[in-house]
């Protein structure tokens, strides 16, 4: 067992930063101070995280055992044990590294973006608190502590979405986000109960604490369950691993905004843009993927749950992509794009390509954080205008933002070399060839999912191109009134006066260096970040292998040990298939890669053809209205429940029925004393006296009767 107490610094540095900013920053109200504390604490986390991941004890990313640190025993009741203990293995190591790294640059960006805001210290206090919770989530060494982080990020998300407290839209969005997350949390909780019931543990790792041997959930599963659960609907309610898988995935749908709990994420854009970049694109929303991959030993043995994940992922991906294509708010486009990309990640996890899912999490963190920060830079330059219909030709005014965002655009569209290409291409291939690599053996309908994913990929290229065109190309529309209405469609921003009418001499400006430097760093990562995970099919191409070597998928090699070696025949076969690199598989993958490159180019081409000359092209109403999903939820769930509670339960049952009975019984007493109401003094006493007298009579009767009954 390798222990390293430095792990605690990773999580506690941001917590200390949050507290300092809350207590001291609130008094000083000095932006320099708050900014340095916030960024400094994340920098400390980041350095320690990289140190433990790469250097200390041989580097957590390169050794086979996790680095552990026991801090205290949180709950220990009747054999149920939850430690506040951290563990960094290869999976959490990768997560922690990119979270702290991307987080650091988003913090730096935010010091520029939030400049001049009266709640500067409060913002950074929340943001640091978020980092604490997120790091607890990924570093936790057991399910319950992970759940602490899980809920913690939900809380911070709530606080940060609702950051602009005096507006209407953020407060609604914040509550909605929290509640929808809570619905998912229910699943996680139930999943944890079932895990504990089946395995007698909730720990991720085998360890010994205070002389007590704690066994890992996954070791237990691998040792005790050697047969995968059947691929049937019945397995879902069977109370076995499939049930766990489905319950945990309910949690993932909440946190990662998948069908049906997806509507909170687009609304969450009401928060400040750095928040959208950090929480609602790069880190928190990928927690669901983390949970699924962390539990892969369970999922590999429950093909039904895997299949559900893949289907939901693919459905969410295409559903959100269709909406993204019709949005006019730049952040809403990116929000739906995030939902769609998260769908891709779940598709990957669902078909058993866990490593690829994490790979896409990481590349997505780079390019989506970049795109969000870029949009933040645009919004900043446009004096808080978010409607792309009022933008246009910004490349002239904001060249750095334009170029950096363009790399993000090419990355997400899937142009080769850029990071998104490798991860997305892998997902498409693994879906296409699911029957080969799926641990459950047979995967019904993978071709359909592949087609859906391909269409989504084209849609992705189209909507991103539309966004780029509306924002950066074409003619300037800063002063054009919006079609049909004078108002911005977000009525929540009404009190920002400068929001509606930009001054006549308005010129957008490029953002200061604190904002552009993070953009450049992230643009660099979005461009080359994918190169650490070049799939074998491509690295074995003669030209490529002469540069990077034949085995260039370092990412997969690092994460491979995280994927449990399940001993079912189908899983063994899947592993063999993956390792063998048979010529036909390699050639299929190459052809598919070529296809997806062509598709990306075609998508971009369609985008240009459609929107280059008419950026304000009217999109289908139903897409613009998000398939009316919110209305559906309100009309069919929220409103009926409110009516039921008010009319039937409260006014009907409580006030009508129960109180009716009680008042009937008490009626005589009340009537008897009602005529005394005119008397002010001593009224209560006489009233009470009467009741007590009456009560004594009843009491006497009962006593008498009671004695007779027994005697």
Region 571-600 residues binding another protein, contact defined as CB under 8 A: none
Looking at the Cβ atoms of 622 and 662, the one nearer to another protein is 662
User: Per rule CB under 8 A, is residue 636 in the interface with another protein?
Assistant: no
Tell me the two tokens of residue 93.
Answer: 């190591």
Interface with another protein (CB under 8 A), residue from 233, 442, 513, 705: 705
Tell the smallest beta-carbon distance from residue 380 to another protein (Å).
24
**Cβ atoms within 10 A of the Cβ of 331, count?**
25
Region 214-233 residues binding another protein, contact defined as CB under 8 A: 215
Tell the smallest beta-carbon distance from residue 404 to another protein (Å).
35
Instruction: For CA atoms 377, 381, 386, 391, give the dihedral sign.
Output: negative
Rounded to an integer, what distance in angstroms lies between the CA atom of residue 564 and that of residue 297? 5
User: Per rule CB under 8 A, is residue 686 in the interface with another protein?
Assistant: no
Looking at the Cβ atoms of 199 and 283, the one nearer to another protein is 199
Of 268-276, 536-544, 580-588, 694-702, the segment contacting another protein by CB under 8 A is 694-702
Binding flags for another protein, 128-147, as an x/- string (CB under 8 A): ----------------x--x
The angle subtended at Cα 604 by Cα 603 and Cα 607, nearest 5°, is 90
Binding flags for another protein, 182-201, as an x/- string (CB under 8 A): xx-xx--xx--xx-xx--xx
Contact status, residue 559 vs residue 94, Cβ threshold 8 Å: yes
Interface with another protein (CB under 8 A), residue from 64, 72, 484, 583: 72
Interface with another protein (CB under 8 A), residue from 39, 43, 85, 174: 174
User: Per rule CB under 8 A, is residue 77 in the interface with another protein?
Assistant: yes
Rounded to an integer, what distance in angstroms lies between the CA atom of residue 300 and that of residue 229? 9
Interface with another protein (CB under 8 A), residue from 587, 614, 642, 686: 642
Region 446-505 residues binding another protein, contact defined as CB under 8 A: 495
Tell the smallest beta-carbon distance from residue 334 to another protein (Å).
25
The angle subtended at Cα 606 by Cα 604 and Cα 608, nearest 5°, is 70
User: Per rule CB under 8 A, is residue 709 in the interface with another protein?
Assistant: yes
Rounded to an integer, what distance in angstroms lies between the CA atom of residue 456 and that of residue 412? 12
Rounded to an integer, what distance in angstroms lies between the CA atom of residue 595 and that of residue 433? 15
SS3 for 265-291 is: HHHHHHCCHHHHHHHHHHCHHHHHHHH
The angle subtended at Cα 50 by Cα 48 and Cα 52, nearest 5°, is 70
Binding flags for another protein, 658-677, as an x/- string (CB under 8 A): xx--xx-xx--xx-------
Per-residue burial over 419-453, b if 16 or more Cβ lie within 10 Å, else e, is bbbbbbbbbbbbbbbbbbbbbbbebeebeebbebb
Alpha-carbon radius of gyration of the chain = 29
Interface with another protein (CB under 8 A), residue from 58, 239, 503, 620: 239
Interface with another protein (CB under 8 A), residue from 646, 682, 686, 689: 646
User: Per rule CB under 8 A, is residue 639 in the interface with another protein?
Assistant: no
Looking at the Cβ atoms of 166 and 618, the one nearer to another protein is 166
Looking at the Cβ atoms of 448 and 699, the one nearer to another protein is 699
β-sheet bridge partners, residue 68? 3, 87
Tell the smallest beta-carbon distance from residue 297 to another protein (Å).
17
Looking at the Cβ atoms of 184 and 518, the one nearer to another protein is 184
Binding flags for another protein, 596-635, as an x/- string (CB under 8 A): ----------------------------------------
The angle subtended at Cα 596 by Cα 591 and Cα 598, nearest 5°, is 95
Tell the smallest beta-carbon distance from residue 52 to another protein (Å).
24
Alpha carbon 401 to its chain centroid, in Å, reads 26
Tell the smallest beta-carbon distance from residue 384 to another protein (Å).
18
Size of the site for another protein (CB under 8 A): 77
Looking at the Cβ atoms of 547 and 695, the one nearer to another protein is 695
Interface with another protein (CB under 8 A), residue from 14, 25, 93, 152: 152
Tell the smallest beta-carbon distance from residue 706 to another protein (Å).
4
User: Per rule CB under 8 A, is residue 654 in the interface with another protein?
Assistant: yes
User: Per rule CB under 8 A, is residue 78 in the interface with another protein?
Assistant: yes
The angle subtended at Cα 199 by Cα 198 and Cα 205, nearest 5°, is 150
Contacts by residues 22-26 (CB-CB < 8 Å, ≥ 24 positions apart): 22/121, 22/122, 22/125, 25/120, 25/121, 25/124, 25/125, 26/121, 26/122, 26/125
Contact status, residue 3 vs residue 68, Cβ threshold 8 Å: yes
Nearest to 210 by CA among 71, 87, 89, 80: 71
Tell me the two tokens of residue 272.
Answer: 């400040």
Region 85-114 residues binding another protein, contact defined as CB under 8 A: none
Of 61-69, 160-168, 300-308, 324-332, the segment contacting another protein by CB under 8 A is 160-168
Rounded to an integer, what distance in angstroms lies between the CA atom of residue 325 and that of residue 334? 10
Tell the smallest beta-carbon distance from residue 272 to another protein (Å).
15
């Amino acid at each position: 067992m390798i222990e390293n107490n430095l792990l605690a610094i990773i999580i506690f540095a941001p917590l200390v930063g949050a507290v300092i900013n809350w207590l001291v920053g609130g008094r000083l109200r000095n932006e320099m101070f708050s900014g340095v504390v916030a960024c400094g604490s994340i920098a400390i986390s980041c350095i320690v995280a990289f140190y433990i991941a790469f250097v200390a004890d041989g580097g957590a990313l390169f050794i086979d055992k996790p680095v552990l640190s026991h801090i205290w025993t949180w709950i220990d009741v009747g054999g149920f044990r939850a430690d506040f203990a951290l563990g960094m293995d290869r999976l959490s190591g990768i997560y922690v590294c990119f979270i702290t790294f991307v987080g650091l640059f988003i913090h730096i960006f935010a010091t520029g973006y939030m400049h001049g805001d009266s709640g500067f210290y409060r913002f950074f206090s929340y943001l640091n608190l978020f980092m604490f919770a997120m790091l607890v989530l990924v570093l936790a060494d057991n399910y319950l502590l992970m759940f602490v982080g899980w809920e913690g990020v939900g809380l911070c998300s709530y606080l940060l979405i609702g950051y602009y407290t005096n507006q209407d839209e953020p407060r609604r969005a914040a509550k909605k986000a929290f509640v929808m997350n809570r619905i998912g949390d229910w699943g996680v909780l139930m999943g944890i109960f079932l895990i504990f019931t089946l395995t007698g543990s909730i720990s991720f790792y085998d360890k010994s604490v205070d002389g007590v041997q704690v066994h890992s959930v996954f070791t237990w599963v691998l040792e005790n369950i050697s047969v995968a659960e059947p691929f049937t609907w019945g397995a879902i309610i069977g109370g076995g691993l499939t049930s766990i898988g489905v319950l945990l995935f309910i949690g993932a749908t909440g946190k990662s905004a998948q069908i049906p709990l997806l509507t909170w994420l687009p609304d969450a854009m009401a928060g400040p843009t750095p928040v959208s970049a950090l929480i609602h694109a790069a880190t928190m929303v990928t927690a669901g993927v983390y949970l699924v991959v962390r539990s892969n030993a369970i999922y590999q043995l429950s093909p039904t749950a895997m299949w559900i994940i893949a289907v939901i992922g693919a459905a969410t991906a295409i559903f959100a992509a269709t909406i993204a294509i019709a949005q006019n708010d730049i952040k809403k486009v990116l929000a739906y794009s995030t939902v769609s990309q998260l769908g891709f990640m779940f598709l990957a996890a669902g078909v058993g390509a866990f490593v690829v899912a994490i790979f896409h999490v990481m590349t997505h963190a780079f390019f989506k954080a970049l795109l969000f920060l870029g949009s933040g830079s645009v919004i900043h330059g446009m004096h808080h205008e978010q409607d792309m219909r009022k933008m246009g030709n910004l490349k002239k005014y904001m060249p750095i933002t334009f170029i950096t965002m363009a790399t993000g655009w090419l990355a997400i569209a899937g142009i080769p070399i850029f990071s998104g290409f490798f991860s997305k291409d892998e997902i498409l291939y693994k879906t296409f060839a699911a029957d080969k690599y799926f641990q459950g053996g047979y995967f019904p309908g993978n071709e359909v999912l592949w087609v859906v994913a391909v269409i989504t990929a084209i849609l992705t290229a189209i909507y991103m191109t539309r966004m780029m065109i509306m924002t950066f190309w074409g003619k300037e529309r800063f002063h054009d009134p919006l079609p049909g209405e004078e108002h911005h469609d977000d009525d929540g921003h009404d009190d920002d006066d400068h929001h509606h009418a930009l001054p006549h001499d308005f010129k957008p400006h490029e953002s200061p260096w604190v904002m552009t430097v993070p953009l450049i760093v992230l643009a660099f990562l979005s461009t080359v970040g994918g190169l650490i995970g070049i799939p074998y099919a491509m690295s074995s191409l003669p030209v490529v292998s002469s540069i990077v070597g034949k085995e260039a998928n370092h990412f997969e090699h690092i994460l491979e040990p995280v994927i449990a070696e399940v001993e079912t025949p189908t899983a063994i076969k899947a592993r063999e298939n993956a390792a063998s690199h048979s010529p036909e598989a390699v050639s299929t993958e190459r052809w598919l890669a070529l296809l997806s490159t062509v598709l990306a180019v075609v998508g971009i081409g369609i985008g240009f053809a459609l929107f280059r000359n008419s950026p304000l092209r009217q999109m289908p109403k139903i897409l613009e209205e998000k398939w009316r999903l919110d209305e559906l939820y309100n009309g069919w769930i929220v409103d009926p429940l409110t009516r039921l509670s008010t009319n039937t339960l409260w006014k009907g049952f409580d006030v009508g029925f129960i109180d009716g009975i009680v008042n009937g019984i008490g009626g005589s007493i009340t009537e008897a004393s009602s005529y005394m109401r005119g008397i002010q003094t001593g009224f209560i006493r006489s009233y009470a006296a009467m009741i007590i007298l009456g009560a004594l009579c009843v009491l006497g009767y009962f006593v008498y009767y009671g004695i007779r009954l027994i005697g």
